[in-house]
Amino acid sequence: MYSLTVRDHVMIAHSFEGEIFGPAQRLHGATYVVDAEFRRSDLDADGLVVDIGLASDVLASILDEINYRNLDDIQEFEGKNTTTEFMARVLFDRLSEAARSGRLGDGGTGLEEIAVTLKESHVAWARYEGAV
């Protein structure tokens, strides 16, 4: 399996519901380092997993939708705890849709899997991966 990873970051604010979250029940911020890994069994006709420039641009545009935002104010997330794990899945879904719709170019339509890792810090991160 071949893979290509691009990296970006995003800054958000949010709060959680539930005693398990302790002080994180209050509004707080997070800066995530975001790694998006694209995978396929065979390279495309140009010898690529996916165009690295398109992959970087698409990831940036997806992150721009939530960057410098309070996730509590976004209707799509109403009633959800926007944990790192939850947000990894959200970004995976958006990248998968971008691949299926052609936003990642012709090579993106041949992707088999995507993995999204959100790093909260140098000691804690979450990941969601699956078939496109």
Tens digit of pLDDT at every position of the chain (132 positions): 999 999 999 999 999 999 999 999 999 999 999 999 999 999 999 999 999 999 999 999 999 999 999 999 999 999 999 999 999 999 999 999 999 999 999 889 999 999 999 999 999 999 999 999
Q: Write out the residue range of the structural domain in which residue 102 sits.
A: 2-28+51-131
Tell me if 124 is assigned to some domain: yes
For residues 2 and 4, give the distance between their C-alpha atoms in angstroms, rounded to a whole number. 7
For residues 118 and 109, give the distance between their C-alpha atoms in angstroms, rounded to a whole number. 24
Q: How many domains, in total, are found in the chain?
A: 1
Tell me if 35 is assigned to some domain: no
Tell me if 19 is assigned to some domain: yes
Strand pairing class (69-70; 125-131): unpaired
> DSSP letter at 43?
-
Tell me if 38 is assigned to some domain: no
- 0.85 surpassed by pTM: yes
Tell me if 46 is assigned to some domain: no
Tell me if 42 is assigned to some domain: no
How many Å from the N-terminal Cα to the C-terminal Cα in the chain?
Answer: 14
CATH of the domain at 64: 3.30.479.10
